[in-house]
Amino acid sequence: MLKVTETAKDLLQSIDHPAESVVRLEPGEAGGTLKLKLGAPKADDHVIERDGGAVLHVPPTVSTALDGATIDTVRTDTGPRLTISQ
Protein backbone atom coordinates (compact mmCIF):
# COMPACT_ATOMS: atom_id res chain seq x y z
CA MET A 1 0.00 0.00 0.00
CA LEU A 2 1.19 3.52 -0.81
CA LYS A 3 1.64 5.64 2.31
CA VAL A 4 1.38 9.44 2.46
CA THR A 5 2.66 11.35 5.49
CA GLU A 6 0.58 14.02 7.19
CA THR A 7 2.99 16.75 6.02
CA ALA A 8 2.64 15.52 2.43
CA LYS A 9 -1.15 15.51 2.81
CA ASP A 10 -0.94 19.10 4.09
CA LEU A 11 1.00 20.12 0.99
CA LEU A 12 -1.32 18.26 -1.37
CA GLN A 13 -4.37 19.73 0.33
CA SER A 14 -2.97 23.24 -0.21
CA ILE A 15 -2.97 22.86 -4.02
CA ASP A 16 -5.65 25.14 -5.42
CA HIS A 17 -7.80 23.55 -8.12
CA PRO A 18 -11.30 23.81 -9.59
CA ALA A 19 -13.99 21.85 -7.72
CA GLU A 20 -14.54 19.45 -10.63
CA SER A 21 -10.88 18.43 -10.79
CA VAL A 22 -8.60 16.49 -8.45
CA VAL A 23 -4.85 16.29 -7.91
CA ARG A 24 -3.55 13.20 -9.70
CA LEU A 25 -0.18 11.40 -9.54
CA GLU A 26 0.36 10.31 -13.14
CA PRO A 27 3.18 8.69 -15.12
CA GLY A 28 5.41 11.30 -16.77
CA GLU A 29 6.50 11.40 -20.38
CA ALA A 30 9.97 10.06 -19.58
CA GLY A 31 9.98 6.44 -18.49
CA GLY A 32 10.03 5.98 -14.73
CA THR A 33 8.98 9.54 -13.90
CA LEU A 34 5.84 10.74 -12.18
CA LYS A 35 4.09 14.09 -12.20
CA LEU A 36 1.28 15.82 -10.37
CA LYS A 37 -1.50 17.15 -12.56
CA LEU A 38 -5.08 18.25 -12.26
CA GLY A 39 -7.70 16.05 -13.88
CA ALA A 40 -10.98 14.28 -13.50
CA PRO A 41 -11.33 11.56 -10.87
CA LYS A 42 -11.55 8.01 -12.18
CA ALA A 43 -13.58 5.19 -10.65
CA ASP A 44 -10.58 2.88 -10.18
CA ASP A 45 -8.26 5.47 -8.58
CA HIS A 46 -6.63 4.80 -5.24
CA VAL A 47 -7.76 7.86 -3.26
CA ILE A 48 -5.70 9.40 -0.46
CA GLU A 49 -7.90 11.36 1.94
CA ARG A 50 -7.41 13.97 4.63
CA ASP A 51 -10.17 15.17 6.94
CA GLY A 52 -12.77 13.35 4.84
CA GLY A 53 -11.70 14.93 1.55
CA ALA A 54 -9.58 13.59 -1.28
CA VAL A 55 -6.08 15.10 -1.52
CA LEU A 56 -4.58 12.76 -4.14
CA HIS A 57 -5.86 10.32 -6.77
CA VAL A 58 -3.48 7.61 -7.95
CA PRO A 59 -4.22 5.35 -10.95
CA PRO A 60 -3.98 1.60 -10.28
CA THR A 61 -0.79 1.15 -12.34
CA VAL A 62 1.03 3.83 -10.35
CA SER A 63 -0.39 2.60 -7.04
CA THR A 64 0.81 -0.94 -7.78
CA ALA A 65 4.28 0.28 -8.81
CA LEU A 66 4.56 2.31 -5.58
CA ASP A 67 3.30 -0.43 -3.26
CA GLY A 68 5.20 -0.06 0.02
CA ALA A 69 6.52 3.42 -0.84
CA THR A 70 6.00 6.58 1.17
CA ILE A 71 5.25 10.06 -0.16
CA ASP A 72 6.70 12.72 2.15
CA THR A 73 8.00 16.27 1.98
CA VAL A 74 11.46 17.76 2.21
CA ARG A 75 12.36 21.39 2.70
CA THR A 76 14.29 23.06 -0.10
CA ASP A 77 15.51 26.63 -0.71
CA THR A 78 12.43 27.17 -2.90
CA GLY A 79 9.93 25.65 -0.46
CA PRO A 80 8.61 22.19 0.37
CA ARG A 81 8.86 19.41 -2.19
CA LEU A 82 7.26 15.99 -2.38
CA THR A 83 9.51 12.94 -2.33
CA ILE A 84 8.86 9.24 -2.80
CA SER A 85 10.94 6.65 -0.98
CA GLN A 86 10.76 2.87 -0.70
- Domain residue spans of the chain: 3-85
> CATH assignment of 3-85?
2.60.300.12
What angle is formed at CA 83 by the lines to CA 21 and CA 52, rounded to 5 degrees?
40
Backbone φ, ψ for residue 61 (5° rounding): -65, -40
Residue 40's pLDDT is: 96
Read off the pLDDT of residues 19-64 as tens digits, 9 standing for 90 and up.
899 999 999 887 778 999 999 999 999 999 998 999 999 999 999 9
Question: pTM for this structure?
Answer: 0.91
Do residues 9 and 53 lie in contact, with contact meaning Cβ atoms separated by under 8 Å?
A: no
